[in-house]
Structure 1
Amino acid sequence: MSVAIVFSGQGHQHPAMLPWLRRDAAIAAMAARLRVEDWRAALADEAWAHANRHAQVLITATAVSAWTQLRAALRIASIEVDALAGYSVGELAACAAAGVFSPERAVSLAARRAALMDAAGSTGRGGLCGVTGLGAAAVDELLRGSAVTVAIRNGDDSVVIGGPLSDSHTHGPEAVSLSDGSLDAVEAALAERGARCTRLAVTVASHTPLMRTAAEAFAVDLAGAAMDAPALPVFDSDGNRSWTAEQARDGLSRQIATTVRWDAVMDQLAARAPSCVLEIGGGQALARLWQRRHPSIPARSADEFRTVDGVIAWIERCNT
């Protein structure tokens, strides 16, 4: 029996997520770092929940904690982990799950990553926008010459774009023109062409050149960090397998300022022919992306289950 594990990124964390999750060392470290007694109650405040410095730490801590608790149950059930990957900040959890560094170290790195990205974004407001319903080639053509780039490629007609916000952002998209090269202007132009655009609840333009200084600083931090070669197959945001600690370092820093190729990641995992795919994190975004791209391989999120036993029972059914 086998399962591929994917770890969620930002945007879908919620107070009731992962209802079976127990408090452990990673959760305790996160609560202390964020100075919250009850992280679920803290998530009820949307402004708090979507602040970069809170979200990245919380998402990483809950993910590595969930992995630790699921891993013990997977071993008892003789379920093999075929591969690991993480979406955006989820790559930290994937590397921790692969044994590159400890869960507690992953939480610490998430805090540093968020701080560096916030610092890079302090020089100008940026954002992200999900775009569906328009082919990738058409989106690429419209972006040419603007300061907006593709941050994440999820599929042939599903991307996330990111870039600077217009000075006229508060006045709505009608106040800007495409010539200003802002995310607001590009979003309005895409909507005119029939695309569905959804502004994401993030405060920095992750995975775009606006985060270059953060990526460079994080690379320096990782260069001095003790890391081990992955003990389980883990794939970076370009869909490449990380065989060594150095490859893991490079992937973790590079993705901060370059396009995440989640479409390629999914294809690489599918090529390994797992019996099913389990998303770990809040919501079901990655499971739904998987179902659209590789419907022959079942996918669900651990967030859909009330108990660890329920997660294991589903995986076992997929393997019969």
Structure 2
Amino acid sequence: MKVAFLFPGQGSQKVGMLREWLEEDAPLVEELFGQASRICGVDLLRLSLEGPEEELNLTKNSQPAILTFSALLLRKIPLVPDVVAGHSLGEYSALFCAGSFDFDEAVYLVRRRGEIMQEASPLGEGTMVAVLGLSLSEVQEIVDVLRGEGKVEIANINSSDQVVLSLEKSLLPRVLEEVSRRGKKAMELRVSAPFHSSFMEKAREAFARVLEGVTIRPPRYPYLSNVTAAFERDPGRIRDLLVEQLVAPVRWKDIMDVLCGEGVRKALEVGPGMVLSKLFEREHPEVSVFPTFSPRRLQIAVSEVREVQ
């Protein structure tokens, strides 16, 4: 039986997410977040503890904050994975876990990635919406209906009944209306730009130049790409796929299918929140995913997973 480490992406952050860990191990929290803050030029510890929420949610801040939170948890988890995968930003956390980047490189990359992505779509012009309860084909119908009214694209295929759209902010009421007409719900995500879509086309070339300056090492654990939902090992191909990930949909449902097919039956969600745990629970109930966002949750997760390692 294999064990996976899963790493969440943007939207999992929230003000106060570090409070229990600061009480549990202040020196480690201050070490990692201090290091990340120096690289980013912003006090990520203060933002994560006190906010304001609007500032934490800026992609240039939320990306390094979430990755650093995941790095903190990895220092606390006395286990090694059989396979790693991350959702969107979480792909960088997964590659850090697998040794493809060191911590400083990973923080620098996601900070620059956030800045470049934000520049590609000015704040307030675009957004992302999670559509709940509709299949991919049903969501595609909504995209087709609205195509003549503005730009809206499929950005994340999270599960059989959760698809995320990237869209012009002005289209938000229409998307909500079309989903409601079909008897389902949709909710706007806590992100500051419409990712994984052609909205990010301007970011592609700029981020490719950033990645050229960073050495990517072959991952020491099997790692699944968001773009291909396949295991990737070659550093050059990984570099190309990380650039492509800016404009390509995240194939998380396919990644869950692959993990299940590979024999994964237990996993840790290494980051804030439990979004990935809930997605797996609905899509593949035979796989137990344990959140680790608090000291108590991590203790339970480690106890459960140690039984099979």
Give yes or no for TM over 0.5. Answer: yes
Task: Tell me the distance in 1 between the aligned counterparts of 2:118 and 2:42.
Answer: 19
Amino acid paired to 2:94: A
- Alignment match of 2:243 (pick from 228, 253, 261): 253
**Quick one: distance in 2 between partners of 1:278 and 1:157?**
22
1:153 corresponding residue in structure 2:
157
Q: Distance in 1 between matches of 2:238 and 2:72?
A: 20
The answer to whether structure 1 residue 202 and structure 2 residue 202 are counterparts is no
2:276 is aligned with what amino acid? L
Q: What is the alpha-carbon distance in structure 1 between the residues aligned to residue 133 and residue 99 of structure 2? A: 38
Q: Give the unaligned 5+ runs of structure 2.
A: none
Aligned partners of 1:26 and 1:104 also within 8 Å: no
CA contact (8 A) 1:65 1:103 kept: no
Q: TM-score normalized by structure 1?
A: 0.86
Identify the residue that residue 29 of structure 1 maps to in structure 2.
35
CA distance in 1, matches of 2:209, 2:267: 33
Aligned-pair CA distance for 1:309: 4.1
Partner of 1:171: none
* 2:121–2:193 CA contact under 8 A, matched in 1: yes
Deviation at 1:283, TM superposition (A): 0.8
Matched residue, 2:166: 162
Distance 1:157 1:314 in 2: 28
Instruction: Give 3-state SS (helix, strand or coil) of 2:293's partner.
Output: helix
**The residue matched to 2:183 in structure 1 has which SS?**
coil
Say whether the 8 Å CA contact 1:5–1:84 is kept in structure 2.
Answer: yes
What is the CA–CA distance in structure 2 between the aligned matches of 1:90 and 1:188, rounded to whole Å?
Answer: 31
Identity %: 27
Residue 84 of structure 1 deviates from its aligned partner by 0.5
Counterpart selection for 1:303 from 264, 278, 293 = 293
Q: Distance in 2 between matches of 1:105 and 1:112?
A: 11
Tell me by how many angstroms 1:100 deviates: 0.9
- Residue 220 (structure 1) aligns with: 209
Equivalent-residue separation in structure 2 for 1:123 and 1:46 (angstroms): 15
Question: For the Cα contact (< 8 Å) 1:305–1:311, is it kept in 2?
Answer: no
Query: 1:175 corresponds to which residue?
Result: none
TM-score normalised according to structure 2 size: 0.89
1:37–1:260 CA distance, 2 compared to 1 (3 A): closer
Aligned to 1:105: 105
State the shift of 1:35 in Å.
3.0
Whether the aligned pair in 2 keeps the contact of 1:162 and 1:183 (CA below 8 Å) is no
- Residue 217 of structure 1 and its aligned partner are, at CA, apart by 1.7
Pick one of 312, 315, 318 that aligns with 2:302.
312
Of residues 11-20 and 131-140 in structure 1, the stretch that sits farther from structure 2 once superposed is 11-20
| Structure 2 residue 85 is matched with structure 1 residue 68 | no
CA distance in 2, matches of 1:63, 1:131: 27
Shift of 1:130: 0.6
Deviation at 1:123, TM superposition (A): 8.3
Report the Cα distance in structure 2 between the residues aligned to 1:270 and 1:198, rounded to whole angstroms: 28
d(CA) in 1 for partners of 2:83, 2:305: 15
Deviation of the 1:141 alpha carbon: 1.5
TM-superposed CA distance for 1:278, in Å, is: 0.8
8 A Cα contact 1:287 1:300, kept in partner = yes
State the SS of the aligned residue for 2:177. Answer: helix
C-alpha displacement of 1:37: 7.4
Partner of 2:269: 279
Q: Would the aligned equivalents of 2:291 and 2:298 in 1 still touch at CA under 8 Å? A: no
Which digits, 9 at most, give the CA deviation of each residue in 1:29-51, with x for residues without a partner? 22333532744664542112211
**Matched length:** 297
